[in-house]
Structure 1
């Protein structure tokens, strides 16, 4: 049995996208997974969060669906729903960018169990291993927001959970207050 390498995965993902533009693959813990297509409410949440981040700092942008090399030694590939970075952080990089300079990754749950498991379990671990300072999970199924911070190379040491309708602080380097009330309008 052969083991799929990261280079092999990236070629497979590229070829798959040529066959079906909506096909978005991820490679976490050595497994290939398909990312569920977004719905209108999901897109609205990303748009809302992008505006808030831009208001907080005009030098930032929340890039949707930018592929990142993640996990220890960057041997995994994730496609977060959003990557908050300084404006030019991904200039000159390809489909799978370095996570250097990423301030925060964002995932919005889609409702299916496979994606929910990845967003709630596998991705926090992968992003913490990568050293991404903040991971924001907007869990539409549970009606709550989880803010993961203080990665130690294995996991996030701090996780704050609030229900939609409450405010939560996105810690440094993001450093902004997030009123989650509008999220009540975009749940399943």
Structure 2
């Protein structure tokens, strides 16, 4: 992962994003450009497993993978989330960097090196809380655990719960069921 040392304006980011080589994800989080390689198969399967469980309980919801969201956090941001749960059809007609107001849950899965995971654990968590996403779910492959954050207030999540891979993790409202993490890796 490459992180720009100075803050980048939204216009500069958009030019960089348009010029990025195929196979790389480019995001703007709290004024910093983050560049990551495309995810591996296990990464994608984790998101699919979570999405399948949610849709089995709430058929009107869908897990959208790799969706670009305009994150109105601390600074104008752009996040390409691993998963975004929203009502079926929510993104129809939206641009590539979509309005996140209808997103109920954001999923990120750690990739790459252990130090890179701190972006998902801290930077993205804080940006998503500031943006008011109701629930943020992190699949931390480096630590072998799933962490759910919910109830954003004042730019922070008020509640957090963690479960080791293989254990059940209670998801808060509006989901209200135990996520089976036995398929996660």
Calculate the TM-score normalised by the size of structure 2: 0.90
Contact 1:35/1:115 (<8 A) preserved: no
1:145-164 equivalence runs, <5 A: 145-164=146-165
Equivalent position of 2:87 in the other structure = 86
Greater strand content? 2
CA-CA distance at 1:5 after TM superposition: 1.7
- Structure 1, unpaired ranges of 5+: none
CA deviations over 1:106-149 (Å, ceiling 9, x no partner): 01111424530110000110000000000000111101110000
Contact 2:114/2:142 (<8 A) preserved: no
Equivalent position of 2:8 in the other structure = 4
1:5-44 equivalence runs, <5 A: 5-16=9-20, 20-44=21-45
CA-CA distance at 1:72 after TM superposition: 2.6
Q: Secondary structure at the match of 1:160?
A: strand
Equivalent position of 2:169 in the other structure = 168
CA-CA distance at 1:10 after TM superposition: 2.0
Q: Distance in 1 between matches of 2:33 and 2:63?
A: 25
Equivalent position of 2:96 in the other structure = 95
CA deviations over 1:76-129 (Å, ceiling 9, x no partner): 111110000001211111111111110000011114245301100001100000
Q: Distance in 1 between matches of 2:178 and 2:135?
A: 13
- Structure 2, unpaired ranges of 5+: 1-5
How many residue pairs match? The answer is 180
CA deviations over 1:51-89 (Å, ceiling 9, x no partner): 112111111111111011114366011111000000121
Contact 1:68/1:78 (<8 A) preserved: yes
CA-CA distance at 1:3 after TM superposition: 5.8
Contact 1:104/1:174 (<8 A) preserved: no
Q: Secondary structure at the match of 1:64?
A: strand
Q: Distance in 1 between matches of 2:99 and 2:74?
A: 11
Greater helix content? 1
Q: Secondary structure at the match of 2:28?
A: strand
Q: Distance in 2 between matches of 1:41 and 1:72?
A: 29
Calculate the TM-score normalised by the size of structure 1: 0.89
